Amino acid sequence: GQNIDQPTEMTATEGAIVQINCTYQTSGFNGLFWYQQHAGEAPTFLSYNVLDGLEEKGRFSSFLSRSKGYSYLLLKELQMKDSASYLCAVMDSNYQLIWGAGTKLIIKP
Amino acid sequence: IAGITQAPTSQILAAGRRMTLRCTQDMRHNAMYWYRQDLGLGLRLIHYSNTAGTTGKGEVPDGYSVSRANTDDFPLTLASAVPSQTSVYFCASSASGGDVNTEAFFGQGTRLTVV
């Protein structure tokens, strides 16, 4: 079956760095997405990786290793507004998104 | 620019009743999707449409139906609601579906409670 695993919850301190991991097993691979979802709101797009390596976008970076079925989202200089759930999703061979359950990130002052 | 709009934002529904959740986008996106989101689970695809006039079943289609008469609208109907359909429902759209990797844009969600 298809599976996306990510930690349920993480806690970090304002100003610090946090890495949220995602491992996947899917039928085919056509890219990996990271979304941010604040409580009670819709998910919003953060990043997309289809080739191995690091994609940097401001304070956020996303890494992909296809051979290991592994990705991480790196958040630097954490701000209180970064408190949210972070969703990992893989596009499979049918171009359908398979979603992880999300990682709830709690930022403490 | 509205983007993608869902209605209603929340609803309490008696079991056995019929209900249609509305979704409209003004981005001229080809692909549209309906997901449900339940605590502790990832977003699960209910139905999708890669282009106007076509629809397909997702991971959890039972008890739901959709139609795609035009590009902009993608309503989701619960023919006879059951308590297990209590969830938050998200409609989403993307520029292409089925052959191109593009990001999805989400509506604000509909919180449905079936009692």
Task: Show residues of chain A in contact with B104, CB under 8 Å.
Answer: 33, 45, 97
Whether A48 sits inside 8 A of B101 (CB atoms) is: yes
Whether B103 sits inside 8 A of A45 (CB atoms) is: yes
Whether B101 sits inside 8 A of A43 (CB atoms) is: no
* Closest chain B residue to the Cα of A31, Cα to Cα: B101
Average pLDDT, chain B: 94
Which of these, A8, A9, A1, A26, lies nearest to A98 by C-alpha position? A26
Q: What is the pLDDT of residue A108?
A: 96
* Closest chain B residue to the Cα of A46, Cα to Cα: B103
Q: What is the pLDDT of residue A94?
A: 82
Largest CA distance in chain B: 40
- Residue B1: is its pLDDT beyond 70? no
The answer to whether residues A94 and A45 touch, using CB atoms and an 8 Å cutoff, is no
Instruction: Please report which confidence band the pLDDT of residue B97 belongs to, taking 50, 70 and 90 as the band edges.
Output: low
- Residue B42: is its pLDDT beyond 90? no
* Closest chain B residue to the Cα of A91, Cα to Cα: B101
Average pLDDT of span A3-20: 97
Task: Show residues of chain B in contact with A31, CB under 8 Å.
Answer: 101
Of A8-12, B21-25, B102-106, minimum mean pLDDT range: B102-106
- Residue A2: is its pLDDT beyond 90? no
Residue numbers of B between 2 and 31 with CB closer than 8 Å to A: none
Whether A50 sits inside 8 A of B98 (CB atoms) is: no
Whether B101 sits inside 8 A of A95 (CB atoms) is: yes
Average pLDDT of span B108-115: 97
- Residue B100: is its pLDDT beyond 70? no
Task: Please indicate whether residue A8 or residue A1 has the higher confidence score (pLDDT).
Answer: A8
Average pLDDT of span B71-88: 98
- Residue B98: is its pLDDT beyond 80? no
Average pLDDT of span B1-7: 87
Task: Show residues of chain A in contact with B99, CB under 8 Å.
Answer: 95
DSSP states of A46-91: EEEE-SSEEEEETTEEEEEETTTTEEEEEE-S--GGG-EEEEEEEE
Whether B101 sits inside 8 A of A99 (CB atoms) is: no
pLDDT tens per residue, range A42-97: 999 999 999 999 999 999 999 999 999 999 999 999 999 999 999 999 998 888 88
Q: Which two tokens stand for residue A49?
A: 């990786």
What span, in angstroms and rounded, lies between the C-alpha atoms of B55 and B98? Answer: 12
Task: Please indicate whether residue B36 or residue B103 has the higher confidence score (pLDDT).
Answer: B36
Q: What is the pLDDT of residue B57?
A: 95
Average pLDDT of span A7-16: 97
Whether A42 sits inside 8 A of B108 (CB atoms) is: yes
